[in-house]
Amino acid sequence: MTPALPQRRIGAFDVSAIGLGCMNLSHAYGQPPARDAAQALLLRALDLGVTLFDTAALYGFGSNEELVGEVLAPHRHRFTLASKCGMQGVDGTRVIDGRPATLKATCEASLKRLRTDVIDLYYLHRWDRQVPIEDSVGALADLVREGKIRAIGLSEVSAATLRRAHAVHPIAALQTEYSLWTRNPEIAVLEACRELGTTFVAFSPVGRGFLPGTLRDVSGLDAKDIRRAMPRFAPVNYAANLRLLDGLGEVAREVGCTLAQLSLAWLLARDEHIVPIPGTTHIAHLEEDLGAVDVRLNAAQMARLDTLIHRGNVAGARYNAATQTEIDTEEF
């Protein structure tokens, strides 16, 4: 019998309070795991009660959707399926394209790769600034009416863009990076989500491997690891950031959990409308992450964490200048 994890709400769906970001299994952090290992991790997540699986057309330029479809299609009734459009691989190059015709064609291709008739939650992965957000969301609304997707999400957008989109069609979820060391959503988006009834889905909730404290030396990152281009992972900045973990470790020991669990528990305690989606390639890490649902932080511990790590003492920007131009989130 599938163990029960605490549930949270995304649109019409009840999902596990912690979902699974599937990107790591095909994309972004260097050499992905072997196919059989990736398959085993997805099935283990399902067995542990994870009911939100998050993929995208971009991840592995379609191969991640193929993996998720191959492994999880036989269990389709047991989980909420999320994918994304608007950013994908074209002839080996990452392209942002929010034109309605492109989004609809991407959806058709994703449905085939995912081996399903309908995608539960379909995000606009990036807002293409050359296309009004109303036009892109209008195309997704057409897909809802056609029965090809059930709910619409947005990724890496501001509160103002969320409101414009929501005026066209209800936005069930907004996804962006949020963790102890990335606080940008606190500027405006979290409050906008509360006002509109939009669930906030937090990606990279353990800081792209920083917050668990196991990545001590960034010099050994794979040549294709996207963190190599992120200022926070530049050697000088990273060395400074590692010092922040000492204080976090003290809190984790006091609570009786790991640093990864502490980071996820902090997010879960921030608000009931937040759903973190950590990603991993290791079953042991998956099991550790899900253990965060049993961690309880009191008000004093939450305040202490906010004092120990915040935007004022994290060294380095979230993205480099080129990537920053592609996103619409508020910046400090």
- Contact status, residue 28 vs residue 56, Cβ threshold 8 Å: no
Give tens-digit pLDDT for 26-51: 989 989 999 999 999 999 999 999 99
**Residue 327 domain flag:** no
Task: Indicate the average pLDDT of the chain.
Answer: 97
Task: Give the C-alpha distances (Å, rounded to integers) separating 17 from 83, 200, 210, 234, 271.
Answer: 18, 12, 22, 32, 11
Q: How far apart are CA 33 and CA 78, in angstroms?
A: 25
**Residue 271 domain flag:** yes
- What CATH number is associated with residue 78? 3.20.20.100
**Residue 111 domain flag:** yes
**Residue 20 domain flag:** yes
Q: How far apart are CA 111 and CA 103, in angstroms?
A: 12
**Residue 326 domain flag:** no
H-type alpha helices, 115-272: 133-145, 159-168, 189-196, 235-242, 245-255, 259-270
Give tens-digit pLDDT for 163-213: 999 999 999 999 999 999 999 999 999 999 999 999 999 999 999 999 999
- Contact status, residue 227 vs residue 233, Cβ threshold 8 Å: yes
How confident is the model at residue 2, as a pLDDT? 59
Q: Determine the structural domain holding residue 273 and report its residue range.
A: 7-208+258-296
| Other Cβ atoms within 10 Å of 130 Cβ, number | 9
How confident is the model at residue 62, as a pLDDT? 97
Task: Point out which residues pair with 93 in neighbouring strands.
Answer: 90
Q: How many domains does the chain have?
A: 1
**Residue 329 domain flag:** no
**CB under 8 Å to 132, separation ≥6 — which residues?**
none
The residue assigned the tokens 């889905």 is: 201
How confident is the model at residue 58, as a pLDDT? 97
H-type alpha helices, the chain: 35-47, 63-72, 100-114, 133-145, 159-168, 189-196, 235-242, 245-255, 259-270, 283-290, 299-308, 321-324
> Above 70 in pLDDT, residue 3?
no
Residue 59 bears catalytic tag: yes
**Residue 301 domain flag:** no
Give tens-digit pLDDT for 298-328: 999 999 999 999 999 999 999 999 999 999 9
Give tens-digit pLDDT for 81-128: 999 999 999 998 999 999 999 999 999 999 999 999 999 999 999 999
> Above 60 in pLDDT, residue 1?
no
Give tens-digit pLDDT for 209-258: 999 999 999 999 999 999 999 999 999 999 999 999 999 999 999 999 99
> Global pTM?
0.98
**Residue 164 domain flag:** yes
- Active-site residue, selected from the candidate residues 59, 122, 178, 238: 59
